[in-house]
A and B are shown apart, each in its own frame.
Chain A
Amino acid sequence: MTFNAFLRAGVACATIALAGAAAAEPLKIALVETLSGPQASTGLLYRTAVQYQIGKINAAGGFNGEKIALVEYDNQGGPVGAADRVKAAIADGAQIILQGSSSAVAGQITEDVRKFNLRNKGKEVLYLNLGAEALELTGAKCHFYHFRFSPNAAIRFKTVALGMKGKGILGTRAYAIDQNYSWGVDVENTVVANAKEIGYEVVDKTLHEVNKIQDFSPYVAKIQAANVDTVFTGNWSNDLLLLMKAASGAGLKARFATAFLDQPGNIGNAGAIAEGHVVSTPFNPEANGDATRVFAEDYKAVTGHYPAYVEPAAVFGLMLFGEALKDVKLDGGKIDTTKIALSIEKATVKTPMGDYSMRSDDHQAQFPMVVQTVSKEAKVKADGTEFGFLPIKSFTGAESIDPVQSTCSMQRPG
């Protein structure tokens, strides 16, 4: 045996060994989030939540005999960066894309994934949407490989209005003020559409630019002139804080019904101004007795803080995803994302908040929502203030979910 032949045999052995290793292929998940820049605060929360729950899945043995590989990509806050990062992630072998903050970015990613899947049969990529809430994602833009694990505009504003009505704090005159892009427009349309059924009147409505306004007092003057009991707003971040502060400064008596009041820093910054305002979210540490409390404490032990804002929804979504993975039997073979997708549709899981499942018609998740108000009586305080979120009404998944949108026509595989 010459040295050359020996070398060749060696290479051959190594190739076989490599091929053998590749057979038990690990599932590769790419988190394409906003991890730097002005909008990074929310993206970083998604990262914490995803690391927490993927860690749990891996601790329980991972998938297909291997640990799940989680890779992070920074989309820098915009659709352009996201499109680029999604391409890179797929080129790096990612089979599943995770993303949550910004409906604008989600709109881009879901289209990119849909087109990629059309052109690459058998190598489909899944897009698990952890928090982009614009309706079109499960409407006109819905497709088989997109799953939404968060509430949407319709779910948020149906539950918040019903919850407030149940408590007798809704009143009859309402105002809708929202940001002028897909999400805000969805909120406005939902609020107007629900008016008759739930029993309030939308006296006036406003759309304004996103994150451009420093001084909301002119808008508050308009709300004041409308003389309303409740102000529905899908505003988030500074647009919500500044609106509430301007309202308080002008002595506006109306109650705010919101979707994102629980963003960290809001209660700390607004203080007593936020008291009595209402928000509808998929989680509250007091909502479901021990189950939610244990989860909150465990989350704090692992990540250093109580689950807040977008984190619980992301964790619960990945719980369902983990449950779905258990039913996919590949016996160490090649990963089949279509099988995983079909399994997500069938899976159900009991989260700390209750039953969680995925509606197969449009891939909108169905889970309990809890309407809560900012109060001193809440047991878990927010931002180190004396205030926290006190649950006032809970809704089951079936009660919360909106009807399937007629615009969604999903092409199923096979």
Chain B
Amino acid sequence: MDQILFALLNGAIYGLLLFMVSAGLTLIFGMMGVLNFAHASFYMLGAYLAYTLQPLTGFWLAIILAPLIVAGLGILVERVILRRVHAYGHAHELLVTFGLSVVIAEIIKIFYGNFPVEYRVPAELQFSAFEIGGGSYPFYRLFMGGVALMMFALLYLMLTRTRIGIVVRSAIYRPRMVEALGHNVPMVFMGVFGVGAFLAGLAGAVAGAFYTTNPNMALELGVMVFVVVVVGGLGSLGGAMIASLLIGVVTSLAVGVKVSIASLLDFIGLGDLARDVGGIFVLELSSVAATLPFFLMLLVLLARPSGLLGEKE
């Protein structure tokens, strides 16, 4: 029982981290129709900037300043690059952001080298929160989950309860009408892009210390973030939340499951036959845990192409 509780908690917190990065991506897509390939690069930038600032400002200020700088960079990218390309259509925007992600990764390598940097959880935060199933549970994981939940609450309240939220939401559906009513829609887009980058940067600054800060981190997380956005439904914040948690929990639970196709075939007496054949029949679920999200994406795309909470196009 403890094992399952542990797995659920681990999965939920990893899911919350995924949410922080994918929230920005899905917001930007929902609003501007731009599938931002460079989004995970903002996550990486957040981690590296926090690592750079930490010795100067201390950990707490670093994880606040770094995302703000990333937000500034995001705004710059939108204003200087994306807006120019916007007129040429989505394919060009996609290519530009893809190119940007490559450029950012290479620049990081030039400045910080090819190997992981020494960005670590500060000693005062390295204690266990509680004991569970014979192991201690690191406080920092709870902290990461807490940050993500707070961000979700803030975003949700801002979008549903404030005037800015109303303008943003209406700009998604009827940008021309909103413009005609006297709102500066390009400005709204720029702001949303900045907020998206801020969220990714914050996730990077917080998670980079816990996982590793290396030049491949954008690549590693980037794929999973896209899966989350597709499963949740492009443009849906709530969908991203559900998909993140689902993926986090499913991968976490699957690790502990020793089930293979052969063991399922045991029920109809064909297990030994399948074991003789080997290959895919004896592959345990636990060894493909990290592939399950892709399987989930496939299922969702087949059954509900617009994603769990996505709008029908």
CB of A292 within 8 Å of the partner chain: no
Complex contact B214–A238 (CB within 8 A):
yes
Provide the residues of chain A in CB contact with B141, threshold 8 Å. 217, 249
Complex contact B287–A180 (CB within 8 A):
yes
Q: Which of B6, B212, B290 contacts A241 (CB 8 A)?
A: B212
CB of B115 within 8 Å of the partner chain: yes
Provide the residues of chain B in CB contact with A222, threshold 8 Å. 255-256
Instruction: List 12 interface pairs A-B (beta carbons < 8 Å), by A numbering.
Output: A44-B114, A208-B255, A209-B291, A212-B291, A215-B248, A218-B252, A224-B133, A224-B135, A238-B212, A245-B211, A250-B135, A385-B118
B125-166 interface mask toward A, CB cutoff 8 Å, 1 = contact, 0 = none?
A: 000100001111110110000000000000000000000000
Complex contact B7–A221 (CB within 8 A):
yes
Q: Which of B128, B210, B215 contacts A38 (CB 8 A)?
A: B215
Residues on A facing B (Cβ under 8 Å): 38, 40-41, 44, 180, 206-209, 211-215, 217-222, 224-225, 227, 238, 241-242, 245, 249-252, 263-266, 268-269, 271, 383, 385
A-B pairs with beta carbons under 8 A, tally: 120
With A249-B141, A264-B115, A269-B116 in contact, do A238 and B290 touch (Cβ < 8 Å)? Answer: no
Provide the residues of chain B in CB contact with A217, threshold 8 Å. 10, 14, 141, 252
Provide the residues of chain B in CB contact with A265, threshold 8 Å. 113, 115-117, 214
Whole-angstrom CA separation of A47 from B290 in the bound complex: 33
Complex contact A268–B118 (CB within 8 A):
yes
Q: Which of A38, A180, A263 contacts B216 (CB 8 A)?
A: A38
- Nearest opposing residue in chain B for A265, CB measure: B115
With A212-B290, A215-B14 in contact, do A269 and B3 touch (Cβ < 8 Å)? Answer: no
Q: Which of B113, B120, B128, B214 contacts A251 (CB 8 A)?
A: B128
Whole-angstrom CA separation of A238 from B217 in the bound complex: 9
Complex contact A268–B117 (CB within 8 A):
yes
- Nearest opposing residue in chain A for B207, CB measure: A214
Q: Which of A44, A209, A238 contacts B288 (CB 8 A)?
A: A209
Q: Which of A41, A218, A251, A264 contacts B10 (CB 8 A)?
A: A218
Whole-angstrom CA separation of A249 from B135 in the bound complex: 9
Provide the residues of chain A in CB contact with B115, threshold 8 Å. 41, 263-265, 268
Whole-angstrom CA separation of A176 from B211 in the bound complex: 22
Provide the residues of chain B in CB contact with A208, threshold 8 Å. 255, 286-287, 289-290
Complex contact B136–A242 (CB within 8 A):
no
Q: Which of B133, B135, B212 contacts A269 (CB 8 A)?
A: B212
Complex contact B134–A224 (CB within 8 A):
yes
Complex contact B255–A271 (CB within 8 A):
no
Provide the residues of chain B in CB contact with A218, threshold 8 Å. 7, 10-11, 251-253, 255-256, 289
Provide the residues of chain B in CB contact with A209, threshold 8 Å. 287-291
CB of B276 within 8 Å of the partner chain: no
Whole-angstrom CA separation of A231 from B213 in the bound complex: 24
CB of B100 within 8 Å of the partner chain: no
Provide the residues of chain A in CB contact with B221, threshold 8 Å. 214
